[in-house]
Structure formats: C-alpha cells, structure tokens
Amino acid sequence: MKKLLALGALTVTFSAAQAFCGFYVGKADANLFNEASQVIVVRDGDKTVVSMLNDYKGELKEFAVVVPVPSVLQKGQINVGDKKIFDRLDAYSAPRLAEYYDPNPCDRPKMEMMRKDIAMSAAPASAPPSARVLGVTVEASYTIGEYDIVILSATQSDGLETWLKQSGYRIPANSAKALTPYVRQNMKFFVAKVNLAEQAKTGFSMLRPLQFAYESEKFMLPIRLGMANANGPQDLIAYMLTKNGRVETSNYRTVKMPANMDLPVFLKQGDEFRNFYKGMFGEQAKKEGFRAVFTEYFWDMGWCDPCAADPLSPDELRKAGVFWVNNPNADASSPPPPGQGRIMPRPPMPGGGAQPAMLTRLHVRYTPETFPEDLMFQETKDRQNYQTRYVLRHPAKVEANACPEAKPYLESVAKRQEQEAQQLATLTGGDINAIRSKLKLPPAPAQKPWWDGMWK
Amino acid sequence: MKTLDARLFQVGFQAILLTLGVLLRDFSLLPAQMALAIASTTLTQAFWLKVFKLKDVGYLSPLITGFGLSLLLRADSFWLHPLIACLAISGKFLIRIRGKHVFNPANFGIGLALLILPGAWVSPGQWGNDLGIAVWLIALGALVVQKARRDDAAWLFLGTFLGLTATRLFYLGYSLDRGLEILTHQALNGALLLFAFFMISDPMTLPDRTAARRLHVVLVAIAAFTWQFLFYRPNGALWALLCLAPLVPLWDFLWPGKSHNWHGNKPLQNIVATQGKMPR
C-alpha cells in the first residue's frame, strides 16, 4: 500500500469526491490525480444530501466531474458549498490525542490531571479518469457558482461515452464499461466543469464542494466509477450524518480502528502523531486485506469528550446539508464560535441541546480488486459513542530517592513505557528499536537468564 | 449417523462460527450477550415445556435459536438479547396454526428487535469474505456427511437468490469477470449464508409437502432479492422469510403433507394437537 497521503497542516482534509463518486474527466492529457476523497452524506428516510469535496490540482479549465445521480436534478437541488464545513467536520471528528500527567507519587493528594487534545487527520489517495458520451439527452444545464453543469440521461453507455468525447472530454478507454451499470439502472449523470469567468469572480483559488439534494432509496456511494484509472489503493473519508444511529456498510465489513490505548509521549511532538496515524491506518488496512471500512468516529453532534474541535453549530450543520435542523436565524443561543477549542468534556450544546444529528466518520482504503461493488450503507440503531482517541501519560518528575513511593513509581513508569513502545510498534508495524531509541529507553532490555539469582 | 439428529450438526456448526467470528472477526458481540441469549432461550423453553407438560422435547431447538440470535443480532445493551430470546421461544409455543409454529424463532426474534426495540441491529457485512469461504466449506462438508438429506431448502434458496443476482448483473451489463467478482462477493456474505443454513432450512416452519416447500423457498428467495436489489434495503432474506411465514399454513392447508419429525419422537405439534392444549 502506498503511503497515506501527506497530511497537510493541522487539519488535513482529504478531498473527495471525484475519486469515488464519479470520475475526473480531463480535456487534455493533464496528469489528473486524486488524493483522498471526502464526502458528506446526510440522510433521513430517502432524503439525501451529498456534498463532495475534491482537491483537484490540475488546470481548472481541464477539470470536469461525472457523477451518477438518481434523477434529473433541478437547479434548486444543486448547491456550491463551503469547504470550511469539511474542515470543521474533519477537525471535530479527527483521531485525537488525550494527554494526562501522572501525579507526583510523593504528593498524593494533589491528584490533578491535565489533559489536552490534539486533533489530526489523515488522508489518502489517488484516482482517475473520465468518460464521454453520445445518444444522450441533455436533461438540464445550469451555471451554479463556478461550475457549468449538465445533467444527462443516456440509453447506452456507448452513447454516453461518444457524447462526452464529441464534447471534447477525454475519457479512459474503459469508461463505457464502467458506466454501463449506471445507465442500465436508469441513473442520470451529473457532469460539471469549471466556468472560468465565474470562477474568477468567486475569488477562490480552489474549487468549492458541490452539493446535491435528492430522494433515493439507495443509500450508497458509487466508488466503482472512480476506479477506472486507479493505480494503487484510494482513500475515501465519508462523514455520514443521520438522525438515529451509527452508519455502517451493509456489503463490506465495518470495523473500528484500534483506539484508546496508551502510547509513548513523544507522539505529541511535531508531526509524530500524524505520522503515527498514517502508519497505523496503513497497517490496519493492510491487515484487513483492504476489504474493510474503518469507523473513526461516532458521536451525537451535540457534544464530544474530549473535543478535538467544537461541535458544529446549527448553522454549520445546515450548510453541511442537515436539512432537519432548524433554521438558524432566530437563535441567540447558537454554540460558541468554531475555535480550535479543546479542553474538557463539553456539556451538551447550548441552544436546547436539540441537535439531532449523529456523525459517523468512515475511512476506507480500497482497491478495484477488494471492493468489487459500490459501497452500500445502512443506518443502525447503535448509539454507543466511539472515537479514535489515544492517550499520552506523562510521568511525574521525581527523584528516585525523594520519598519511599518514588522508586516503585519510577520502575512502574519504565515498565509502562516499554509497553507503550511495543503497543506502538504493533499498531504501526514499526521498528521497536527505533521507537525505543526515540524514547531513550534502554535498547532491547537485557533479559536476565531465568536461572539468574535462583540460588541466592 | 442415521440416528443422529441433524440439528446436532447445526449446533456444532454454529458454535464453530461463533468462535471463529468472535475470535477473528471482532464481532461487536460480547460473550455476556451470547451467554444471556442462550440462557434465556433455554429457560424459556423449560418454562413452556412445563406449562404445556410436554415431554420428549429436547433443548436443541433453543440452543440453535440462541446461537442464531447471537450470530446475527447486535445490540448496544445487555437486556436486549435475553428479552428477544425469550420472545422468540415464546413465539414458537404461542403463535401456532393447526399445531405448527408459524415463525422460525430466531427470525421472529430478529424481526421484532429491528421493528420495535431501540439499540438493535443486524450487520450483514460484518463477516468478511474469508469467513464466508469458511461457511461454504463447512456447509459443503456437512452436506457430504449428511448425504443430502431432505434439507434441500438452503441450497434451493441460495441457488434461486444467487441466480437472480447473476441475472441482474448480466442485465446491468457487467463484463464476465467483473460480474463474477461481484457475484462471488455476494455469495460470500456471511449473513446470507447463515440465513440459508440456519433459518430457511428449518423444516419445522416450512410447508410439509415437498413441492409446496420448494415453492415457498423460491418465493422467499424472490422476495429477498426484490427487497435487496429493487428496493435497495438491507437484510432482504430476513424480512422475506418473516413476512411470508404466514403463507405456510395456507400451503399446508391446500397441500397437506407429513409433518417433519426431527428425531423419531413424536413431534411437538402432534403432542400439542392431541393434547389440545396449545392455543391455535
């Protein structure tokens, strides 16, 4: 497996969309490359709002995306959203570190504990191509924000391919094949490209996420389409927002990331935690044979503990597509402004606590061989909170002879650090000795022969 | 071998699967939930046997129901498994038409849990392909050992369901190898296999006459397929079996046949019928 992507700054977002929900269509031989895809899916009953963020890096004029959608979307069903919402969801649900400080063993009563959380996220990688068409009906066309959008229906994938070709898109040779099942299911195709004039007006240098609202009995994401050009595994992070419970895939295994263990404190420094999570995700995905979807977070959006970032406000939730949250005008009690807040457990939201949105963060690394079908989901009635949280315990600074308790304490710390190092090595498939040297632990702890001291 | 109750195979099979699943697959099932489910099915069975003064009826059936519930049902609490286990077994004794129980107990329990109780769900994708392969192997092994007994229901169901799935894939225009990949993926779904080998194959809740039994199984497979691939809802097989179960008494009425008998003892329904104690 390839490396996970470079996590960017504090909040790394994986961008999503094209890679899985459709594919990039290049108009030239530009080197199109999808890193990780990010998508928000809001669903209640058949009502669905999908937001797709892409981190397309090529020439804007060559950007285009094809997404199968269940029906011809009206203009009002399409929106150009705000990337900040992805950043907020990412920061809120990212794997996190919690820090604790051991009390000084000589100072029992002062059992204060501190804790700090550091958010991070990781992202993944890569993807592909495009499609062309003909024998196709242009059902609608709109310019929304910086995008020129057409909604197509097609009776044959060959026709669709021909049409796209004639319209100047270059698509990979196997596009028609990849499109066929969607055509036969009578799905429509949402094709968007960048309107450069409009794009210049927006003043944004990057493309903003596209959002669609529609009704469909299918609770799924069409990841297969984005595999046409895949080389190597691709990553997708999906934020699923529902009313009642945790979301999982119904046609693949959904597993929780190993979490909540103690790890060496050096993870706090620099990019260590980021690298640790990247390494661990890669190792776990490999261990599952790239056949599993990982749950990284599941919590009621009303609160968190510890919070990697503030929960989304009703206004932000609406922007994310949570259509059942009340219109935010008229509320003086909206939650605190989104800061990189981090501190202790937050009480349920101010504002009545009525934040009936549950967030499930799913992260999947897939390959064409291991994910032969599109991802199908179901909302379960599971409401047990879950987060990928790792704990750092800072030993107290104390001299061995400071008090009678000090020596046994220091011994227990040494033992604990060794365990943490081993834990880390197991999770990431890393080199235990490298970890030991980082920790300044004695290299391989010399094992006493079993008989040593036997006759004393 | 002839005298062995086929359900012994089932129990063994289920025990192996549960062990494999919990050890290797990180099922979100706690050992305590499983123990509670099995204890509850057994105690409930004992209770009703006493109430109806039934003899010669053993405890394999509640064991199978307890395992079945543990294998398929997930819950975020400890009370749900035992409650459902109790309702499932009670349903077996109380919901009877002409002396024969209408619903497969585990199927009935899971349906109830999903419909009316909070914090219950079924994770159809949790098994993973490798465990799916294991199930096929064990099932095939059991088939050989049992020399294809009358429990053709599992195979007929799988054949029909997967046949329809294959037809759909062909219709959707998948190339042969892509189609095969997807079909294999579907065929290795652990929940589907469990359903086939432990639920629909339960002869007690299928029509007595062979032809009627086959008809019913095919109907269930078609309904399951429709639910899953035309309406895109999960757990098609479970819902199909549950919803079509009330047809079984009708088939038995139209085409009477010889009741299934597990172990040469007088089957429960005959005892019940002669004693006339069981509500209809």
Query: Which token pair is A238?
Result: 């999906």
Composition of chain A by helix, strand, coil, percent to 5? 25, 25, 50
pLDDT-derived band of residue A170, with 50, 70 and 90 as boundaries? low
pLDDT of residue B58: 78
Rg of chain A (C-alpha set): 25
Assigned domain for A198 exists: yes
Q: Is the backbone of residue A268 left (phi > 0), alpha (psi -120 to 50) or beta?
A: alpha
- A395 CB burial (10 A radius; 0-12, 13-18, 19+): middle
pLDDT tens string A264-313: 888 887 778 888 888 889 899 998 899 999 999 999 888 777 777 888 88
The mean pLDDT value for B219-237 works out to: 93
Of residues A245, A264, A248, the one with CA closest to residue A256 = A248
Closest residue, chain A, to B75 (C-alpha)? A382
Chain B contact present for A252, CB below 8 A: yes
Strand A117-119 to strand A234-242: parallel, antiparallel, or no bridges (unpaired)?
unpaired
Residue bearing tokens 């509670």: B36
Q: Is residue A428 a part of any domain in this protein?
A: no
Confirm whether A131 is domain-assigned: yes
Chain A residues 185-214 with CB within 8 Å of chain B: 185
Q: Which of A164, A226, A222 is nearest to A32 (CA)?
A: A226
What would the pLDDT profile of B29-55 be if each residue is shown by its tens digit?
A: 888 888 999 999 999 999 998 888 887
Determine which of A42-51, A133-142, A153-162, A174-183 has the lowest per-residue pLDDT on average: A133-142
Residue type (1 letter), B275 = Q
Total count of domains within chain A: 1
Neighbour count for residue A323 (Cβ, 10 Å): 15
Degrees to nearest 5, angle at CA B200 with B197 and B203:
100
- CB-CB: which of A181, A253, A382 is closest to B128? A253
Residue A206: pLDDT band by 50, 70, 90 thresholds? confident
Asked if residue A100 is part of any domain, the answer here is yes
Inter-residue contact A21 to A224 (CB < 8 Å): no
Predicted pLDDT at B144: 58
Q: Which of A77-86, A269-278, A347-356 has the lowest mean pLDDT?
A: A347-356
DSSP string, B99-127: TEE-S-HHHHHHHHHHHH-TTEEE-TTTT
What mean pLDDT is predicted for residues A119-136? 42
Domain presence at residue A409? no
Q: pLDDT confidence of A211, banded at 50, 70, 90?
A: very high
Give the range of the structural domain holding residue A75, as residue numbers without chain letter: 10-334+367-397
* % of chain B surpassing 70 pLDDT: 84
Q: Which domains are present in chain B?
A: 6-275 (1.10.3430)
The residue of B74, B76, B78, B186 whose CB has the most chain A CBs within 10 angstroms, and thus the best one to mutate to test that interface, is B76
Taking only the tens place, the pLDDT of each residue in A92-112 is 888 888 888 888 888 754 444
Indicate the pLDDT class of residue A355, thresholds 50, 70 and 90.
low
The answer to whether residue A201 is domain-embedded is yes
Is the pLDDT at A33 greater than 80? The verdict is no
Binding-site residues on chain B for chain A (CB distance < 8 A): 25-26, 74, 76, 117-121, 123-129, 171-175, 178, 181-182, 184-186, 189, 231-235
Residues B153-170 have a mean pLDDT of 93
Residue A233 lies in a domain: yes
Residue A85 banded pLDDT, cuts 50, 70, 90: very high
Look at residue B108 and tell me whether its pLDDT is greater than 90: yes
Interface touch A376/B74, C-beta < 8 Å: no
Q: How far is A379 from chain B (nearest CA, A)?
A: 9
* A155 touching B (Cβ < 8 Å): no
Average pLDDT over residues B192-221: 87
Coil/strand/helix, residue B219: helix
Kindly report, residue by residue over B115-151, the tens digit of the pLDDT.
Answer: 999 889 998 888 777 777 777 767 776 665 564 455 5
B-chain residues near A177 (CB < 8 A): 173, 175, 178
Interface pTM, i.e. ipTM: 0.84
Instruction: Pick the residue of A185, A248, A367 with the most B CBs within 10 A to test the interface with B by mutation.
Output: A248
Structure-model confidence comparison of residues A207 and B161, the more confident one: B161
Q: Which of A217, A220, A378 sits opposite B231 (nearest CB)?
A: A217
> What is the average pLDDT across A423-439?
85
Q: How confident is the model at residue A328 (pLDDT cuts 50, 70, 90)?
A: low
Interface contact A291-B128, CB threshold 8 A: yes
How many CB pairs (< 8 A) connect A and B?
Answer: 81
Question: How far apart, in whole angstroms, are the C-alpha atoms of residue B136 and residue A301?
Answer: 42
Let me know if residue A182 belongs to a domain: yes
What confidence tier does A248 reach under pLDDT thresholds 50, 70, 90? very high
The mean pLDDT of A236-258, rounded to a whole number, is 92
A contacts of B76 (beta carbons < 8 Å):
381-384
Give the per-residue pLDDT at A172: 67
Residue B260 or A271, more confident: A271
pTM for this one?
Answer: 0.82
